[in-house]
Structures are given as structure tokens and as C-alpha cells.
Structure 1
Amino acid sequence: MISLLEKILAPFLKPMGVSSADLHSYLTAVKGYIYLIVIALVVMIAVLITAHFIKKGWKAFVRIQAVLAFLLVIVVSVNAICYGPLYNNVSGFLNASKVVLADDTVSQSLDTVKKIAEEGMVLLKNDGTLPLGSDKAKLNVFGWDSVNPLLGGTGSSSSNAAAATDILTSLKDAGYETNNDLTQMYKNYRKDRPVLDMQKQDLTLPEPTMDYYTDDIINNAKNFSDTAVIVIGRPGGENYDLPTDMYSVIHGTYNVAKDVSSAPDNYNYLNASYTNNGDYDDFDKGDHYLQLSNTEEKLVDLVCSNFKKVIVVINSTNTMELNWVDKYKQISAVLLAPAPGANGFKALGEILKGTVNPSGRTADTFAKDLLKTPYINNIGNFNYKNVNMMTKSLAKDDGAYQGTMAFLHYVEGIYVGYRFYETAAEEGLINYEDAVQYPFGYGLSYTTFDQSIEDFKASKDSVSFKVKVTNTGKVAGKDAVEVYFTPPYTNGGIEKASVNLIDFGKTKMLEPGASEEVEFTINNEDLASYDSDGIKVKGGGYILEAGEYAISIRSDSHTSIDEKKFTVKNDISYNETSKSTDKVPATNHFQDYSRGDFTQLSRADGFANYNEAIAAPKDSAYEMKDDTKAAVKAITVSDYDSSAYDKDSDKMPVTNADNGLKLSDMAGASYEDKNWDKLLDEMSIKEMNDLINVGGWQTAAVDSIGKIATSDCDGPAGLSNYITGANGTTYPSEVLMAQTWSKDIAVEIGTSMGSEFAAAKNYGWYGPAMNIHRSAFAGRNFEYYSEDPLLSAYIAAGETQGAAQFGVYPYIKHFALNDQETNRCAILLEYASEQAIREIYLKPFEKVVKEYQGKNLAVMSSYVWIGDKPCYANSNLLNSVLRDEWGFQGMVETDYDGSYGYMITDNAIRNGGDLMLGYGSFDSNKLNSESATVVIAMRRACKNILYTIVNSGYYSEGSPIPTENKMDKLFRNINIGAGIIFVAIEALMIALLLKRRKSKTVIIVDKE
């Protein structure tokens, strides 16, 4: 029944933003009422049929009564549903006010978006062709992407881009005339972009074949202008990774598993399709999605053979292979313009013209061959072979996930991105120029700069210095200052990269000859390495090893400009006396179960184990060990036993008390305030249950303490709430934000975006997202900043601080290691050393939590597992590190609660989770209110939720935002109207029946 309804309703609800998972959740929550309505329908039909055999005078009456009774069941059921299991969803939708953002609010956002693009687009190549100036009045613009460019990604980072500025408009606004024959040809070829959503991916690259470029078109183009622009785009999105083998996608055989024998027969892990642009394969065997297609190669050949000057615009948030741009002498300039949001493309024309001087820097390393990266054999799908029966037993009627159980090895350890290439080059493993085309932090300008380190001072605890930046060129511009450190390394000792970003800054606009000094202070403890193997720190911990440290400023990760050195005389361990920013010393919390049984890449002896470490997993890796199997099975839906975790010593807390407190009374109160217990005593079990379980883009109202219902919005690209219909300005991809290398712009992004959230009276923000670009093929890279954790951290910290001014509480996400989309909703056991986890993947979250200036901060956990513990219920992650070590105070929400066979509310709240991003409709959401241990955990989770909400804009100055209950008014009017109609029909039917009976009464008169 539920499945049938899903099939019927899905096509109608999908355009409204209701996903199949949401629909399943809604229908599951109300299945009892659905069965009641079906039974009532069957009874009505039976009565209607039976009425045929009833005495003629009663037929109509019985039939109408049957219909009225059925309608009454529907009305009562709808009321019960809307004021019962779906109350928070329906009330959130009906009570939402139409959001009309003020012109000045939108204008501020658009100015910020344009500024991000101006300072985030990266000039990768330029032989002097750019800027074009005003001399070139006409441009030929090639490439289908030029008429339908990528503005953002899909999924949670999608937003409203209806009125976006496109590439051709940008060029026109800059004063350039573009070849309309080309533009019209592309528009006629295809108007819409292939479908890319969370359920289906059409990866077709719509590029006309060479027969479209007739002699007339090319000759007219050559007469039109001798300068050409080629636009190349690559989309990405949530719920899928980009293919590493496009030939098999075209032929329908693509399987992201490296060992296909480990996967179910004929199972295609990527729900993808591709339509060839001609009667040939658009990709050859061995080609991947981040290379040029055959059609694109022919386009580049065609353009370069007919035009002297060619400018390439790369519209992709995933790092493509771009070594082809150096094979053509005609390609004189390359500009990187990834997903610039609503009006970011306005900057493109201005940069080409020269009215804006580009100052962006790459946020990732551009490798020449992505299939030779150290991660390439260890991304994608790796299914366990010996747990098929167990995975099949996970599903229940509540829609639990019947999917794969898989693993992932983070074999490269800390050597992610440029950390690998710089260190490998230093150790002689690679020739840098052969492997890297554009380094991390690379970018050109229309002017030149000199940088030098001044006033370098090294003290016991820190180093301080100034970087003097001088514009030595002929035009004004901004320059990024990139600060790296090189730690001492002992062969076979604690793993260390030779180059590590430690800080950065950006100058103001400098006129020719002008200078600016950018100041830096770096704490020595921030140069410490994490010793997870206990080489020097027993039990793991941070250590600043004795030796010589170099602080360098670089134009990119590979090119040093100036360098200063200082010496640390003795090892400084932080496992007994913690770092100044930690509440308690960091120690191993993951290593025992996260490390896994695989060879991790090591710098020892010049990366002597490189070939062994980067190889695909061994056959033995596909066999889940018995102890792991037992641990995983115990916390899956089919086998989870909540009572096994109860404590006999726990006493049942007070509920339903009347202490005279309201949530508003706790605004500004410390987390340790004793009144929190009194407030929690007033809540009922049901209220706590609803508050914890019903967190799908909202938090529920709690009448007993006067807590209002609140709304949460996706996502990193700006205000977007499909439940309330609130939409704001579409912001650029986080990649473009990171490419600004500007902390000031990061704060401005948060300020502008936060003002829109506040104007919509929506203070919950599912963002920013700060997972790592471990792989160029990760589909969600557009939603994450960089391969570098520190660059990610500073941009994210600026955004959150800017939004905090408006009372917005960001859910920083996805905590943690959600660095690929393949199997993210499955039981995906990820293995990595604790050093890699802490130094790379947790670092952005750590810095945001520690630097965040405000109480209204939340965290969204990830789907994935660290070893045999799911992140959403990992006490080591959510309590030991996040709360105890970093000092976080606030709520932790899951990623979407689709159950998936392992998302269990009881498990979450016992281990540091607080809020389920769902609707509480699964069996896995049920909580045992008879258990004191469970109720204590419920109170703790509720406190974290309430603490976050009361310190947000929803309780400005301690008072909740007044809201009009439109739902009550609407239902009251409908119910009264329905009642009047029902009574009127009943009265009319009775009157007619009485009249009929009276007319048939026989009166006998006695003649006597």
C-alpha cells in the first residue's frame, strides 16, 4: 500500500522539493490513518452496493449516509494526521509567512556575490592577451556551456538562481559584442541542462559535433573577430561521485568497485547515463569525466586552428585535467570560474576587460594525471563479501535501508593534495613539474608584487612577523599572502609534510608603487604534529618536536618567496598539559578502531612503501572480521537492543513539573545554570520525544516551556527552504569562496547571507560545509572549500562569525570524513589513522568551534562510520573530542534520518547526538520512556537543542518571535464549514425522509 502510494504521489510532489525519502517517511508516519481510510472506503463501497437491495425509499438515504460517513472519516483522519504525526511539518508550512526580502538586503547579497567572484576567479595562464581592454569590441564565444553555465551544485547546496547573470550577459555588460550566430546555434542544439538530481544523473555533456560548425559559421566567426573564448563546464552534485571510467558509463557497465567480484551481480553503483554527441564514443577507454570529451577535444582543435588568440574559461568546481591548454600556442589565457552563483559571472567580463584585476588563488592542486594520484585506487565502492545475509536482515517495515556494507581506506594518511606533491618531490619520489600543472595557492595577476618577511621574532610560545607587500607593476591590484611552515622530520618518525599552510592574508587594493604590511602571529603549538602511533607520546597526543622550523611566504605551495627559521630546543608534549585552546589534552580516541588493517603511505626512506600503500585493497580486506561484524550488527536496526546499554544506577528524572519557568527565561544563561534542570523537569516524555525526533528542517514547539517551533534551511549556497518556500540569493560554490583567500570576504559572506536568514525569520542554517577535497572525483566538492583544512577552517570561521551577528546558528557539517558520495548512506566503514583524522579531516571543525564568537552554533554529523562506529552516534567524536576537548556547547543533528538500517535515535542520544533530521516516523526512532537511562539521555539532548535555540535570533532579547498560528485558523474555519455542511445535509435528509413517510401515511375514517 505504502509503495503504491509512493509511486502515485512522487511525480506530483517531486517538483515541490519532496524527495522520495521524505515521501516514504511521511507515508510511514501516517500509515495507520491510511489503512483506516482504505477500510472506510471499502465499507462505503460495500454499503453502496448493498443499498441496491434495500427497500426503495431508503436507498438514497443509506447511500448518502455511507458517503457522509466516509467523508467524516477523512476529515477526522486529516485532522488527526495534521495535529498528530505531521503536525510540525504541516504547521511549519501553513504558518510560514511569504518571505519578501528588502531591496537593500538583496542588493547587499548581490554585491557580496560579485565581490566573491571578482576576488575568487583565478587567472591560471596569461601570455599578455589579458586584459583585453576596450580595443577588442567583439568576441566569438564557443562551447555549449557558454549559454547554460553552471552556477552551483545540486542537493542541499542548490538554491534559487532564476535571475542569474550568465556569461554572455557579463561580456555584453563589459562592452563586448558576442557572435550571435554561435549563441543561437548552441541554444537551438539544446536549451536545458541534463538532469542532475539526487536520484538520477544524466552526465551528458551537450556539445555540438563538428558538422554543426559549417564553413559559413566558421568564416563568419573569423570575420567577426580574431579572438575566441571557449567555455568548458563540469557539473557535480550530492549523492553521486564523478565517474573515473566514462567509456563504461556510455556503455552501461560502469561499476565504481575496484573489484567487481565484491559487488552484487549487475549492480550499477552510479545511477548515471550519458548520451553520445555523435555516432562515436564521446570518451575513449580509460578516459574519465574530468578530461575533455572527444567532442570537446575536436572543438578545441577547431577553434585553435582558426583563431590566433584563444581564452579558455573553466566552469567547474572539480579540478579537471588541464594539461591540454599548454599543447596549443593559440590558448593564451585560462580563467578558472567555478559556479559563481546569482551574479558572480558579472565579474568575468570585467576581468577580461581589465576593470577588475584578478586576485584569486587555487584551493586545490591541479594534477596532470588524476589517475595517478595516491588516492585513486581507494575511492569509490568496496563491498564486503561476507555480510550479504546480514545486510538483507537489516530491513524492517519502517523503510530501513537494504543496501551494501562497504569500507574505505584513507591510505594516503596526512599526505593529501599539495602535502603529498611537495613532500614527494622533496624526497625524490616524483618530478614535480611532471605531476603538477597548477600548484595549490596558485594564481596570476595583471600586475606584479614583491613580498618580504620583516621584523621576524621568535619567542618561547610563538613567532611574529610582518609581510611587506609592494605593488611593483603598472596597475592596481590585491595580493594574497600565503604562510607555510616546514617542520623537522626524522626518517621513520612521526609523519610530517614538508610544506603546510599555517596562515594567510590578503592586501587591500594597492596602487602601483604602494605597499602594505600584513601582520602574523603564529603559536608554536599550532605547528605540533599528532603522534597517533605512540612514537613519542604514549597513548597518542600532540607534540612539538625539537629541531629547526622554517616559516616561509610563498606565491603558491611550491614557490618560496622568503623564509625565516627558528629552533625548538626540546620536545614539547601536549598530552599532559593541553594546548592553550583545548579544555583537556588531546589523546587517542579513534586509533584502536579507526586505523584498520592496511598499509598507510609513509615518508620513511623516501616513500619506500608508495606502491604498496596506494594499491587497491587486498582480497582479505573484503572479508569483514568477526569482531567487527558483531560490533556493527549490534547497532543496526534489526539487532539493536537499547536495554543492553541501560544503567541500573540511573534514577528516573522528574517530568511534567510546574516550576514556573519558560525557555525565554534561559536566554543568555550559562550552560551550567541550575535552572536548566528545573526547565527540563517541566517537559513531558512526549514533548522530549518530539523535540528530539522531529528535526527535519525544523525544531518542534514545546508548549509546556513556551518553546516556539523553528525552521532550519539548506544550505551552503544561501537561504533555501522548500517547506516554507523561503528562498534567497544564490551564493557561489564554496570552492569560489575559498579561492578568494580572504578572511574579510568570508565574514562578509556570513554577514550578507545571515541578513537574509534573519529577514526571513529563519535562523537555522545547514551550513557551512567543510569536508575535504580528498579526491577530485567527489561529487560534492562544490559544497566544500578545499583540499587544505586550514584554508577551509578560516573561510568557514569567517562565515559563521558573520552570520552570528544576526542570531543565525549554523550547523557546521558533515562531522566528519564525509569526503565522497559513493555509499555515504550505506554502512560505510572508513579507516584512517588518528593523525590523519585530526590533522586533516577534523581540523576545519576544530578551528570553527574554538574561534566561534557566539553561543548559537550547531553541528551536523555525517552518515559515514569511523571504523565500526557511526559518526552520528560516536561518543569519542561527539563527546570526547567535540565537547570535552574543544569545549563545544550546542546541539548535534544527524544528516537526513532515512534510517538506512543503522540510524537509531536511542543510539544517537546515548552517544552525543541530539536531534534527528527526520520526522520520527520509523521504528528506529522509538525511545523507551520506561528506562531512566534513556530519559536522562533525552533530557541531555533536549538541553543542547534548547540551549542553541534560546541563544539564537528566535529569542531576540529573550523573547520568542511572535508567530501567527495560521494553521489553527485555517483548520478551524474548514472544520466549522465542513460541520455546517454535514449537519445541513443530515437535516435535509431527515426532513425529506420524514416528509416522504408522512405522504405515505394512510388515514382511515370511520363512517359511523
Structure 2
Amino acid sequence: MVACLILTAAAQIGMNMYSGAMDSFFGSGETKLVSTDGGKEMDAEYYDYSCSTAEEAKELSAKVNNEVVGEGVTLLKNEDNALPLAEGAKITFLGVNALHYVIGPANDPYNNENAVSLKDGFEAAGYSVNPTVWDYYDRYSEINSSYTFDELMEIDPAQYSTELTDSYKDYSDAAVVVLRRSTGEGTDPSKDMGAAENNRTKLSLSATELELLSHACQNFNKVVVLVMSPNTMELGFLSDGSNYTDPYTGKTYDFGNIKAALWAGGLGLSGAQTLAEILNGTINPSGRLVDTYARDLKADPTYQNVGLYEYTNTTTQEGVGNTEEFYCSTGQAFTVEYEEGIYVGYRYYETAAYEASVGNYEGFDYDKAVIYPFGYGLSYTTFDMEYEGTPFFDEETDEFVFNVKVTNTGKTAGKQVVQIHCNAPYSYDSSVEKAQVVLCGFAKTGGIEPGESEEIEVRADRDYITSYDYKDAKCYILDEGDYNFYLSDNSHSWFDIDEKDASKCYTYQ
């Protein structure tokens, strides 16, 4: 009774605090928008929530969820046109993480009654899913229910019974392997998982996951890998195929039957069926990577400074500074050094590629260091892009304007993401650091039918190509010289574009 009263009181407090928002959301009460002084000039957009019930709100949420998944899932690999899978394909999910895919930070769909399982989502899309293997993983998950979602949980395939492996033959159109990492606030991935894992990082594949992939390739002619992680992972096994060597043990694997791979991030509560529709071609994938995927994270400059570094020369808060800046609730003080400056992600790798190409970075090989560049993504079709007319600078808006003609040269309707990367003039004598290229504009087309074209406008704010001069001007500056704007598929497209090709490169002085 006491617990019930406390819960009721807490609910009433919460409802009173957020009553205005709740009334607006469920369509009751009155909402009054009040503009502050100068507010009319602010970039703000108000949304009219037309839902009258919680059920309607859930349906709308699921619709938005599925749209995000449909636009964001990224096709990484598709050898021999392995995807899309045939209608009604009979598939086997391999790996217990198929039941524990990522729906959001530290959120396990297995314990969430509102989440659509991969099995239910794929069956709703017309697939037949191997029930024997799925039920085995279900029983295992129940027995090991105490595990936490940020832990790595996978079963060594050497433990699979004959009954389990015999079930493959009736669901052999493809094996779908789910690789999952879930991190969030307070659950950063480990830099070193210890001697038992040969000191590999948590963002590399574990020894058990490598054995699972090997098992899949030995038993299926077509293996599809789903990378479900908000963090970048070491994905060299996808590019090396039949000759992959685990850098932590030296053991070699034949992954030649991994024919396709997709980055799926987090699917939310309802995105499983949308993912299934991408695999069967109902939706043509059009997502692009928002990170650079390096082969060896330990070789990345940022790796040296990642961690929880505690101040050891102070025992009190006095004299250190603002308490909130330096101390957590335990009274400890931590710090992180950003010694790499601007050279994070693609800004480092593209700059390193240029410096290596002119002989200033001995030993760096971009093609070996980077598996997938920033902005990368494949489609079930192909596109050609070119500048339509001459790009120009709009002095009224301080924006560069690029009109781009995108033509679908393949056989399937699809969407293309147009990216503009800029190379700014740079002097080695200057104290102002600049990356080789920076993304300054992008836009996605609508669905383009085979043989058809769409003209799309991309605008890039002038501020996006400025650089900060912390020594002299102490502000953002634009140096004199040539600014080259590359029409790109990803951050590395500049490397193969001739600056004299006006259809792909625009030079502004």
C-alpha cells in the first residue's frame, strides 16, 4: 500500500510538472506560444501533435522509426549481387545476438515487450526463419538472463549439436550473422579485453565471433553480416575475404562466403521489418557512414588519449576550479587530452593520404589503413553525378551553390547522397592547421528510376570552409588561394578526381 501511494504521488508530481506538454501531445487543453524579445528571428519550427491517444502516438513513433531505418541503413558490401535476397527466402540467423540486437544505447530488445524481434520482423516481410536455431538461442538467453547488455555474449559454435547444424539444410538461402556492440554513457568500450582475448579491443571481433563467422562460411554459400553498433568497429574481415588474418592471434580464416554486409546501427523498437525489407529489395539502401572505419583502431592517433585519466595530485576540490567541470559524484577528478587537434576521423585519414602521396608520411597506406571511408555507402543500383552549370557563390546568403545532375545508370530505382568536400589552400609555414578536405554540404535525392535523372541543389555555408587561427587572428579565417570543391561519393573521392575536370571539381578563388 505504501509503495502504491509513493508511486501514485510520483506520477502526480511528474504529470503536474509536464502537464502542458502532455495536454499538447494528447490533444487536450490549450497551448500558447509566447515569443521572447528577438525570438522571431530564431530558427525554430513548431510541430502540431495531432495524436489524441497514446496508441496513435505509438503508431506515429513507429512510422518515424521505420523511416529513419529505411533511410539510414548502409550497404557495405554486396559481392556477386548477393542482395537483395529472393522473395520468401529461407534463412538462418546465426549468433545469439540476433535476439539481442541494438535498438538504442544499452537497450536489449529481448527484455522489451514493445520491441519487434528480428524473427518476427523478417517473417512479416515474407522470409522463413530457421526455428530450431532461434529456439536454441532463446533457451540460452533465458538461462543466461543475468548478463548485462554491454557485455559480449556469444556461443562457441563448437557447442552446437548435430540437430542444430542439420537444421541448416532447410534454411540455407543465407546465413545472417548479427555482430553487436552497445555502448553509452558510463559504458565505454574497453581498450583491452585482457589476456583471455589476446588484449584485443572491444571494438574488434572476439575470438568466439571469428569462429562463428568461420562456422557460417563453412556451412553456407551466402553469408550476410549485420553490423549493429553505434561505434566504429574493426571490419578488416569484410574486405580481406578468403585470406583474413586475426591481428591479435595471427590465425587465418577463410571468409570468402561473406557476400554481403550492412551497417544497421540501432533499429529502434520497430525497425526489424524495415531492415528485412532492405534485404529483400523492397527498400533500396541509401544510408551513408557517419564515421571512418579503420582497420586498426590502435593505430589511430585518438586511441592514445582515449580513457579515464584521473588527476593524482589533488585530494580536495579547493584550487582546482569549478566543481562541475572537474569532479564526478565520487569526488574524483578526471581529464582527457585532445592532442590530435582537428585531426579526428576522416580529417586525419584524408590528410594522411595526401601527405603520403607527396612523400611526407612514410609508411602510411590509406588503402590498408581504411576499410570504409566517411560518407561511404553502396546501393542496389549505380549513379553518375556531374555539376549542372557552374557552381557559384551567393553573396546574399554567404553560401556556395551547387546544382548537381544525378543519373541512375543501373536497373533498380534508388536514392543517391550527393556530397561536396572542400580542399582549402594550405601553407606548411602557417600555424593554422587544415585538413586535406572537409565536408561542407550534402543532400539526398528522391527515388530515381533507372535511366532517369534528378537535378538537386546543394548549398554550403562559407563558414564551413573557414579555419581557426588561434595564434594571430584568434578567429576563423579564409586564406587567399584556390578552394577546390569536389563532387563526392565519400570523403576519399577527391583522391581520384582531376582538378581540371569541371564536371567533378569547382575551383573558387
Partner in structure 1 of residue 126 of structure 2: 175
Residue 97 of structure 2 is aligned to residue 153 of structure 1: no
Equivalent residues in 2 for 1:277-288, closer than 5 Å? 281=196, 283-284=197-198, 286-288=199-201
| Residue of 301, 304, 307 corresponding to 1:374 | 301
Say if 1:413 and 1:195 are closer, same or farther in 2 by CA, change over 3 A: farther
Count matched residues.
Answer: 442
CA contact (8 A) 1:465 1:521 kept: yes
| Residue of 130, 142, 153 corresponding to 1:191 | 142
Partner in structure 1 of residue 446 of structure 2: 508
Aligned mates of 1:466, 1:94 — CA distance in 2:
47
Name the aligned partner's letter for residue 220 of structure 1: S
Identity %: 36
Distance apart, 1:213 and its partner CA: 1.1
Name the aligned partner's letter for residue 503 of structure 1: G
| Residue of 185, 206, 215 corresponding to 2:153 | 206
Query: Equivalent residue of 2:309, what SS?
Result: coil
Equivalent residues in 2 for 1:502-541, closer than 5 Å? 502-534=440-472, 537=473, 540-541=474-475
Residue 353 of structure 2 is aligned to residue 419 of structure 1: no
Partner in structure 2 of residue 691 of structure 1: none
Name the aligned partner's letter for residue 190 of structure 2: P
Aligned mates of 1:89, 1:352 — CA distance in 2:
42
Aligned mates of 2:307, 2:320 — CA distance in 1:
24
Name the aligned partner's letter for residue 418 of structure 1: Y
CA contact (8 A) 1:366 1:440 kept: yes
Partner in structure 1 of residue 208 of structure 2: 295
Residue 408 of structure 2 is aligned to residue 458 of structure 1: no
RMSD across aligned positions (CA): 3.3
CA contact (8 A) 1:154 1:236 kept: yes
Query: Equivalent residue of 1:289, what SS?
Result: coil
Say if 1:96 and 1:445 are closer, same or farther in 2 by CA, change over 3 A: closer
Deviations 1:714-773 (A, max 9, x none): xxxxxxxxxxxxxxxxxxxxxxxxxxxxxxxxxxxxxxxxxxxxxxxxxxxxxxxxxxxx
Residue 285 of structure 2 is aligned to residue 358 of structure 1: yes
Distance apart, 1:108 and its partner CA: 2.8
CA contact (8 A) 2:310 2:332 kept: yes
Partner in structure 1 of residue 222 of structure 2: 309
CA contact (8 A) 1:154 1:238 kept: no
Aligned mates of 2:488, 2:217 — CA distance in 1:
34
Partner in structure 2 of residue 468 of structure 1: 405
Distance apart, 1:175 and its partner CA: 1.1
Distance apart, 1:92 and its partner CA: 3.7
CA contact (8 A) 1:454 1:466 kept: yes
Residue 181 of structure 2 is aligned to residue 247 of structure 1: no
* Higher normalized contact order (CA 8 Å, seq sep 6+, divided by chain length): 1
Say if 1:90 and 1:550 are closer, same or farther in 2 by CA, change over 3 A: closer
Query: Equivalent residue of 2:152, what SS?
Result: coil
Name the aligned partner's letter for residue 227 of structure 1: A
Distance apart, 1:404 and its partner CA: 1.8
Distance apart, 1:369 and its partner CA: 0.6
Name the aligned partner's letter for residue 565 of structure 1: Y
Distance apart, 1:165 and its partner CA: 1.8
Name the aligned partner's letter for residue 121 of structure 2: S
| Residue of 257, 260, 283 corresponding to 1:330 | 257
Aligned mates of 1:223, 1:521 — CA distance in 2:
52
Distance apart, 1:94 and its partner CA: 10
Name the aligned partner's letter for residue 470 of structure 1: T
Aligned mates of 1:94, 1:547 — CA distance in 2:
57
Residue 174 of structure 2 is aligned to residue 227 of structure 1: yes
Deviations 1:136-169 (A, max 9, x none): 63111111111222211149x99x9532222111
- What TM-score comes out, normalization by structure 1 length? 0.41
Distance apart, 1:525 and its partner CA: 4.3
Equivalent residues in 2 for 1:624-663, closer than 5 Å? none
Deviations 1:785-805 (A, max 9, x none): xxxxxxxxxxxxxxxxxxxxx
| Residue of 419, 423, 429 corresponding to 1:492 | 429
CA contact (8 A) 2:149 2:182 kept: no
Query: Equivalent residue of 2:219, what SS?
Result: coil
Say if 1:330 and 1:89 are closer, same or farther in 2 by CA, change over 3 A: closer
Distance apart, 1:95 and its partner CA: 11
Distance apart, 1:313 and its partner CA: 0.8
Distance apart, 1:375 and its partner CA: 0.8
Name the aligned partner's letter for residue 401 of structure 2: S
Equivalent residues in 2 for 1:363-762, closer than 5 Å? 363-390=290-317, 401-428=329-356, 429=361, 430-459=364-393, 461=395, 462-493=399-430, 494-534=432-472, 537=473, 540-560=474-494, 563-568=504-509
Say if 1:505 and 1:346 are closer, same or farther in 2 by CA, change over 3 A: same
Distance apart, 1:566 and its partner CA: 2.9
Name the aligned partner's letter for residue 379 of structure 1: V
CA contact (8 A) 1:194 1:204 kept: no
Aligned mates of 2:394, 2:121 — CA distance in 1:
53
Query: Equivalent residue of 1:333, what SS?
Result: strand
Say if 1:147 and 1:383 are closer, same or farther in 2 by CA, change over 3 A: closer
Query: For structure 1, which runs of at least 5 residues remain unmatched after alignment?
Result: 1-8, 17-77, 249-280, 569-1008
Partner in structure 2 of residue 133 of structure 1: 86
Distance apart, 1:89 and its partner CA: 6.2
Deviations 1:518-537 (A, max 9, x none): 11343444422111121xx2
Aligned mates of 1:354, 1:87 — CA distance in 2:
48
Larger-Rg structure: 1
Aligned mates of 1:88, 1:105 — CA distance in 2:
22
Say if 1:488 and 1:208 are closer, same or farther in 2 by CA, change over 3 A: same
Partner in structure 2 of residue 1004 of structure 1: none
Say if 1:161 and 1:468 are closer, same or farther in 2 by CA, change over 3 A: farther
Name the aligned partner's letter for residue 339 of structure 1: G
Aligned mates of 2:462, 2:206 — CA distance in 1:
48
CA contact (8 A) 1:464 1:520 kept: yes
Aligned mates of 2:420, 2:438 — CA distance in 1:
8
Range moving further from structure 2, 452-461 or 498-507: 452-461
Stretches of 4+ moved more than 6 A in 1?
86-90, 93-100, 192-196, 391-395
Distance apart, 1:490 and its partner CA: 0.5
Partner in structure 2 of residue 110 of structure 1: 62
Say if 1:408 and 1:355 are closer, same or farther in 2 by CA, change over 3 A: same
Distance apart, 1:368 and its partner CA: 0.5
Aligned mates of 1:298, 1:516 — CA distance in 2:
46
Distance apart, 1:294 and its partner CA: 1.7
Name the aligned partner's letter for residue 450 of structure 2: P
Query: Equivalent residue of 1:191, what SS?
Result: helix
Aligned mates of 2:312, 2:328 — CA distance in 1:
21
Distance apart, 1:202 and its partner CA: 6.2
Deviations 1:924-947 (A, max 9, x none): xxxxxxxxxxxxxxxxxxxxxxxx
Say if 1:304 and 1:547 are closer, same or farther in 2 by CA, change over 3 A: same
Distance apart, 1:405 and its partner CA: 1.9
Aligned mates of 2:317, 2:55 — CA distance in 1:
57
Range moving further from structure 2, 344-353 or 384-393: 384-393
Aligned mates of 1:289, 1:333 — CA distance in 2:
23
Q: Which structure has more helix as a fraction of its residues?
A: 1
Name the aligned partner's letter for residue 309 of structure 1: K
Deviations 1:211-246 (A, max 9, x none): 431223212213432521111111112223111111
Partner in structure 1 of residue 114 of structure 2: 163
- What TM-score comes out, normalization by structure 2 length? 0.79
Query: Equivalent residue of 2:100, what SS?
Result: coil
Distance apart, 1:132 and its partner CA: 1.1
Query: Equivalent residue of 1:440, what SS?
Result: coil
